[in-house]
Amino acid sequence: MTLEELKQLNLANVGGWPVVAKLGAMSLIAALILLAAYMLDWRGQWDDLNRHKAQELELRDKYLKTKAMAINLESYKRQLADINREFGALLKQLPNRQEMTALLTDINRAGLGRGLQFELFKPAAQETLTEFYAELPVTVKVTGDYHDIGAFASDVGRLSRIVLLSDLKVTSDKNVLTLETTAKTFRYLDEDEVAAQQKAARDKKAKEQKK
Protein backbone atom coordinates (compact mmCIF):
# COMPACT_ATOMS: atom_id res chain seq x y z
CA MET A 1 0.00 0.00 0.00
CA THR A 2 1.06 3.56 -0.67
CA LEU A 3 1.37 6.26 1.96
CA GLU A 4 -1.67 8.01 0.53
CA GLU A 5 -3.77 4.86 0.85
CA LEU A 6 -2.66 4.45 4.49
CA LYS A 7 -3.81 8.02 5.24
CA GLN A 8 -7.25 7.22 3.88
CA LEU A 9 -7.83 4.27 6.25
CA ASN A 10 -10.69 4.85 8.70
CA LEU A 11 -9.89 3.65 12.23
CA ALA A 12 -13.63 3.51 12.98
CA ASN A 13 -14.16 1.01 10.18
CA VAL A 14 -11.30 -1.45 10.51
CA GLY A 15 -13.44 -4.17 9.04
CA GLY A 16 -13.55 -2.31 5.77
CA TRP A 17 -9.76 -2.09 5.43
CA PRO A 18 -8.01 -3.91 2.62
CA VAL A 19 -6.54 -7.32 3.48
CA VAL A 20 -2.99 -6.02 3.25
CA ALA A 21 -3.75 -3.25 5.75
CA LYS A 22 -5.43 -5.70 8.12
CA LEU A 23 -2.48 -8.09 8.00
CA GLY A 24 -0.04 -5.23 8.61
CA ALA A 25 -2.04 -3.96 11.57
CA MET A 26 -2.28 -7.43 13.07
CA SER A 27 1.46 -7.95 12.66
CA LEU A 28 2.18 -4.60 14.36
CA ILE A 29 -0.16 -5.41 17.27
CA ALA A 30 1.40 -8.86 17.67
CA ALA A 31 4.89 -7.33 17.70
CA LEU A 32 3.83 -4.77 20.34
CA ILE A 33 2.28 -7.53 22.47
CA LEU A 34 5.46 -9.61 22.23
CA LEU A 35 7.61 -6.60 23.10
CA ALA A 36 5.44 -5.74 26.11
CA ALA A 37 5.48 -9.38 27.28
CA TYR A 38 9.28 -9.49 27.01
CA MET A 39 9.76 -6.22 28.87
CA LEU A 40 7.22 -6.99 31.61
CA ASP A 41 7.68 -10.73 32.14
CA TRP A 42 9.81 -12.73 29.74
CA ARG A 43 13.04 -10.79 30.33
CA GLY A 44 13.04 -11.75 34.02
CA GLN A 45 12.28 -15.36 33.14
CA TRP A 46 15.08 -15.33 30.55
CA ASP A 47 17.55 -14.04 33.14
CA ASP A 48 16.37 -16.75 35.56
CA LEU A 49 16.81 -19.36 32.86
CA ASN A 50 20.39 -18.23 32.15
CA ARG A 51 21.17 -18.21 35.88
CA HIS A 52 19.78 -21.73 36.32
CA LYS A 53 21.77 -22.92 33.31
CA ALA A 54 24.95 -21.56 34.89
CA GLN A 55 24.07 -23.28 38.18
CA GLU A 56 23.40 -26.51 36.29
CA LEU A 57 26.84 -26.37 34.68
CA GLU A 58 28.46 -25.66 38.05
CA LEU A 59 26.61 -28.52 39.76
CA ARG A 60 27.41 -30.86 36.86
CA ASP A 61 31.09 -29.99 37.13
CA LYS A 62 31.02 -30.54 40.89
CA TYR A 63 29.21 -33.85 40.39
CA LEU A 64 31.79 -35.05 37.85
CA LYS A 65 34.64 -34.12 40.18
CA THR A 66 32.97 -35.87 43.11
CA LYS A 67 32.27 -38.90 40.94
CA ALA A 68 35.91 -39.03 39.84
CA MET A 69 37.04 -38.85 43.47
CA ALA A 70 34.61 -41.62 44.44
CA ILE A 71 35.86 -43.82 41.60
CA ASN A 72 39.48 -43.22 42.66
CA LEU A 73 38.77 -43.38 46.41
CA GLU A 74 40.64 -46.65 46.93
CA SER A 75 43.61 -45.29 45.00
CA TYR A 76 43.60 -42.13 47.16
CA LYS A 77 43.47 -44.27 50.30
CA ARG A 78 46.49 -46.27 49.14
CA GLN A 79 48.36 -43.06 48.30
CA LEU A 80 47.53 -41.65 51.73
CA ALA A 81 48.73 -44.84 53.40
CA ASP A 82 51.98 -44.66 51.40
CA ILE A 83 52.46 -41.02 52.37
CA ASN A 84 51.87 -41.83 56.04
CA ARG A 85 54.42 -44.67 55.88
CA GLU A 86 56.98 -42.45 54.19
CA PHE A 87 56.33 -39.67 56.68
CA GLY A 88 56.72 -42.12 59.54
CA ALA A 89 60.01 -43.38 58.08
CA LEU A 90 61.30 -39.82 57.77
CA LEU A 91 60.09 -39.01 61.27
CA LYS A 92 62.10 -41.91 62.65
CA GLN A 93 65.21 -40.25 61.27
CA LEU A 94 64.60 -37.30 63.56
CA PRO A 95 65.61 -37.63 67.19
CA ASN A 96 63.33 -36.64 70.02
CA ARG A 97 64.34 -34.13 72.66
CA GLN A 98 66.16 -36.72 74.78
CA GLU A 99 68.09 -38.07 71.79
CA MET A 100 69.25 -34.67 70.58
CA THR A 101 72.28 -34.65 72.86
CA ALA A 102 73.35 -38.04 71.51
CA LEU A 103 73.12 -36.69 67.94
CA LEU A 104 75.38 -33.76 68.76
CA THR A 105 77.81 -36.23 70.32
CA ASP A 106 77.73 -38.32 67.12
CA ILE A 107 78.68 -35.29 65.03
CA ASN A 108 81.55 -34.52 67.39
CA ARG A 109 82.75 -38.13 67.30
CA ALA A 110 82.62 -38.15 63.50
CA GLY A 111 85.18 -35.33 63.48
CA LEU A 112 87.37 -36.73 66.22
CA GLY A 113 87.30 -40.16 64.59
CA ARG A 114 88.89 -38.62 61.49
CA GLY A 115 91.60 -36.92 63.52
CA LEU A 116 90.18 -33.42 63.07
CA GLN A 117 90.78 -30.66 65.56
CA PHE A 118 87.62 -28.88 66.71
CA GLU A 119 88.14 -25.14 67.12
CA LEU A 120 84.43 -24.43 67.46
CA PHE A 121 81.36 -26.56 68.12
CA LYS A 122 78.55 -24.25 69.17
CA PRO A 123 74.85 -25.17 69.06
CA ALA A 124 72.51 -22.20 68.64
CA ALA A 125 71.04 -20.78 71.82
CA GLN A 126 67.49 -21.42 70.61
CA GLU A 127 65.75 -23.84 68.29
CA THR A 128 63.60 -22.78 65.35
CA LEU A 129 60.19 -24.42 65.69
CA THR A 130 57.89 -25.42 62.84
CA GLU A 131 54.56 -27.25 63.02
CA PHE A 132 56.07 -30.73 63.41
CA TYR A 133 59.80 -30.40 63.99
CA ALA A 134 62.48 -28.19 65.51
CA GLU A 135 65.69 -27.12 63.81
CA LEU A 136 68.91 -26.52 65.74
CA PRO A 137 71.89 -25.14 63.81
CA VAL A 138 75.35 -25.93 65.14
CA THR A 139 78.30 -23.78 64.13
CA VAL A 140 81.30 -26.04 63.45
CA LYS A 141 84.92 -25.17 62.75
CA VAL A 142 87.46 -27.96 62.31
CA THR A 143 91.01 -28.23 60.97
CA GLY A 144 92.74 -31.16 59.28
CA ASP A 145 93.90 -32.37 55.90
CA TYR A 146 91.84 -32.60 52.74
CA HIS A 147 90.99 -36.30 52.94
CA ASP A 148 90.04 -36.23 56.61
CA ILE A 149 87.72 -33.25 56.15
CA GLY A 150 86.09 -34.94 53.16
CA ALA A 151 85.68 -38.16 55.13
CA PHE A 152 84.13 -36.21 58.03
CA ALA A 153 81.51 -34.66 55.73
CA SER A 154 80.76 -38.11 54.32
CA ASP A 155 80.46 -39.64 57.82
CA VAL A 156 78.00 -36.92 58.87
CA GLY A 157 75.91 -37.64 55.78
CA ARG A 158 75.73 -41.33 56.73
CA LEU A 159 74.53 -40.74 60.29
CA SER A 160 71.26 -42.49 61.13
CA ARG A 161 69.78 -39.07 61.94
CA ILE A 162 69.34 -36.25 59.44
CA VAL A 163 72.13 -33.66 59.57
CA LEU A 164 72.64 -31.09 56.82
CA LEU A 165 75.92 -29.27 56.36
CA SER A 166 75.35 -25.81 54.91
CA ASP A 167 77.31 -22.59 54.35
CA LEU A 168 80.53 -24.52 53.91
CA LYS A 169 83.72 -22.45 53.83
CA VAL A 170 87.15 -24.03 53.40
CA THR A 171 90.40 -22.12 53.84
CA SER A 172 93.96 -23.34 53.57
CA ASP A 173 97.09 -22.51 55.57
CA LYS A 174 99.99 -24.45 54.11
CA ASN A 175 98.96 -28.12 54.37
CA VAL A 176 96.23 -27.55 56.93
CA LEU A 177 92.63 -26.94 55.85
CA THR A 178 89.99 -25.26 57.96
CA LEU A 179 86.33 -26.09 57.43
CA GLU A 180 83.67 -23.72 58.73
CA THR A 181 80.09 -24.88 58.35
CA THR A 182 76.66 -24.91 59.93
CA ALA A 183 75.41 -28.37 60.78
CA LYS A 184 71.61 -28.22 60.81
CA THR A 185 70.10 -30.83 63.09
CA PHE A 186 66.43 -31.62 63.47
CA ARG A 187 64.17 -33.26 66.03
CA TYR A 188 60.48 -33.99 66.00
CA LEU A 189 58.21 -32.26 68.48
CA ASP A 190 56.38 -34.16 71.18
CA GLU A 191 52.56 -34.09 71.31
CA ASP A 192 52.41 -31.12 73.66
CA GLU A 193 54.77 -29.11 71.48
CA VAL A 194 52.80 -29.97 68.32
CA ALA A 195 49.55 -28.90 70.01
CA ALA A 196 51.16 -25.63 71.13
CA GLN A 197 52.45 -24.92 67.60
CA GLN A 198 49.07 -25.63 66.03
CA LYS A 199 47.33 -23.39 68.58
CA ALA A 200 49.80 -20.61 67.86
CA ALA A 201 49.14 -20.98 64.11
CA ARG A 202 45.36 -20.81 64.66
CA ASP A 203 45.70 -17.74 66.90
CA LYS A 204 47.88 -16.02 64.33
CA LYS A 205 45.41 -16.76 61.53
CA ALA A 206 42.52 -15.48 63.65
CA LYS A 207 44.36 -12.21 64.36
CA GLU A 208 45.13 -11.73 60.66
CA GLN A 209 41.47 -12.27 59.75
CA LYS A 210 40.37 -9.63 62.26
CA LYS A 211 42.63 -6.98 60.67
pLDDT at 11: 60
Determine phi and psi for 94, rounding to 5 degrees: -100, 135
For residues 135 and 128, is the Cβ–Cβ distance under 8 A?
A: yes
Q: Check residue 205 and give its pLDDT.
A: 82
- What pLDDT does residue 133 have? 83
Closest to 143 measured CA to CA, from 96, 176, 100: 176
Would you write out the chain's pLDDT as a tens digit for each of its 211 residues?
A: 555 655 555 566 655 656 666 666 677 777 777 777 666 666 666 677 777 788 888 888 888 888 777 787 788 788 878 777 776 666 666 777 788 888 899 999 999 999 999 999 999 988 888 877 888 999 999 999 989 999 999 999 888 888 889 999 999 887 789 999 999 988 888 778 778 878 888 888 888 877 6
d(CA 142, CA 76): 49
Domain parsing of the chain, residue ranges = 1-71, 96-194
For position 111, what pLDDT does the model report?
A: 92
H helix or E strand, kind and range, residue 75: helix 73-92
Question: Which class for 185: exposed (0-12), middle (13-18), buried (19 or more C-beta within 10 A)?
Answer: buried
- Characterize the bridge pairing of strands 128-129 and 163-173: unpaired
Amino acid letter, 44:
G
8 A C-beta contact, residue 190 and residue 198: no
**pLDDT score, position 193:** 79
Going by C-alpha positions, the residue among 164, 117, 171 that lies closest to residue 144 is: 117
What whole-number distance in Å separates Cα of residue 75 and Cα of residue 87?
Answer: 18
- Distance, CA of 136 to CA of 171 (rounded, Å): 25
Q: What was the pLDDT predicted at 25? A: 64
Domain 96-194 homologous superfamily, CATH: Ribosomal protein S6/Translation elongation factor EF1B (3.30.70.60)
What SS3 state is found at 49? Answer: helix
Rounded to 10 degrees, what is the CA torsion of 133, 139, 141, 145? Answer: 20
Q: What is the pLDDT of residue 29?
A: 74
